[in-house]
Amino acid sequence: MAGSPRVPPWTRVPRQDGRRFVVTGANSGIGLATARALAEAGAHVVLAVRSRDKGEAAAATIQGDVEVRALDVADLSSVRAFADGTGAVDVLVNNAGILGVPFGLSVDGIELHLATNHVGHFALTNLLLPRLTDRVVVVSSQSHRSGVLELDDLDWSRRGYSAYAAYAQSKLANMLFLAELQRRLTATGSTLRVTGAHPGSTATAITANTGNGFKTWIGSWGHGLVGMRPWQGALPTLYAATMDVPGNTYLGPHRFREMSGWPVSVGRSRSASDPDLARACWEESESLSGVRFPL
């Protein structure tokens, strides 16, 4: 596209032999593309998925060293069970997500977007931190820019519910988590890194459960028409997971409005850069999850 900066293509993941990755939501879309590329680069990849059957079907399409383990990030008991059964991990990729679903609460009483996209990953990360050796990758979205974090109404009991506003709120929470976790790690002297990424516009099935046939069709048709293929949409995540970038780096596609292209460091909203909001979000996430920073 005219006016886009010249950015060299990046498609080759460095060799990852001897390294262990956990990728949540790895049975389809960006997660599957991420897991496939890592396994092909020699990594051992844990596909952390809600449906074991779908996970096994996805694993059968991957050439490399993979295993399938059950994880429902919207269920904190499932998160704890997964963490309890997990040994040393080099990189945790917090990828699983939902978008545009009707109002609902998780088994723990948390609004579904927030439970799936943020709180479950917040708990999983903190539970695994003592066993992590390299980094955490947080997969967010350009939608974080329109997110408004209403810490006193996270369950939408006082606001009129909007599925897309709920999604944007959860993606803003991802960004605040990225920054605050890195701040805390640095303050303890830890060498662990936290990086973030978003896939731009990528053709996946994330809008498959909106509960509205027209919205589901529009989301699928629109992304299918203009979106990148999952292998390219996964590149910012893969770059964030395997390349030597500083903590708190946030990556996305380089072209117009970060919709497509090759991985580059990108900006974030003013709210996503607010340290006071990040600390408040962290405290509320600890309260919701019952999990605290372990270091």
Contacting residues for 26 by C-beta, under 8 A, at least 6 apart: 32, 34, 35, 45, 47, 48, 49, 55, 58, 95
- Contact, 187 vs 208, CB < 8 A? no
Residue 239 is a catalytic residue: no
Residue 71 has a pLDDT of 98
Residue 258 has a pLDDT of 87
Residue 203 has a pLDDT of 72
Amino acid at 211: G
Burial pattern 192-214, b for ≥16 Cβ within 10 A else e, equals: bbbbbbbbbbbbbebbeebeeee
Question: What is the rounded CA–CA span in Å between residue 201 and residue 188?
Answer: 37
- Contact, 156 vs 170, CB < 8 A? no
Question: What is the rounded CA–CA span in Å between residue 48 and residue 218?
Answer: 29
| Residue matched to tokens 């956990």 | 22
Residue 256 has a pLDDT of 82
Per-residue confidence of the chain (295 residues) as pLDDT tens digits? Answer: 445 568 889 999 999 999 999 999 999 999 999 999 999 999 999 999 999 999 999 999 999 999 999 999 999 999 999 999 999 999 999 999 999 999 999 999 999 999 999 999 999 999 999 999 999 999 999 999 999 999 999 999 999 999 999 999 999 999 999 999 999 999 999 999 999 999 998 775 544 454 555 444 444 544 455 569 999 999 999 999 999 999 999 999 998 888 999 999 999 999 999 999 999 999 999 999 999 999 8
- Contact, 225 vs 252, CB < 8 A? no
- Contact, 195 vs 241, CB < 8 A? yes
Residue 226 has a pLDDT of 56
pTM over 0.85: yes
Residue 139 has a pLDDT of 98
Residue 223 has a pLDDT of 47
Question: What is the rounded CA–CA span in Å between residue 232 and residue 39?
Answer: 16
110-115 long-range contacts, CB within 8 A, separation 24+: 110/74, 110/154, 110/155, 110/288, 111/154, 111/155, 111/156, 111/166, 112/74, 112/166, 113/163, 113/166, 113/167, 113/169, 113/170, 114/154, 114/166, 114/169, 114/170, 114/173, 114/288, 115/73, 115/74
| Annotated catalytic residue, options 161, 167, 239, 250 | 167
Residue 8 has a pLDDT of 85
11 burial type by CB count under 10 A (0-12 exposed, 13-18 middle, 19+ buried): exposed
The CATH code belonging to domain 20-289 is 3.40.50.720
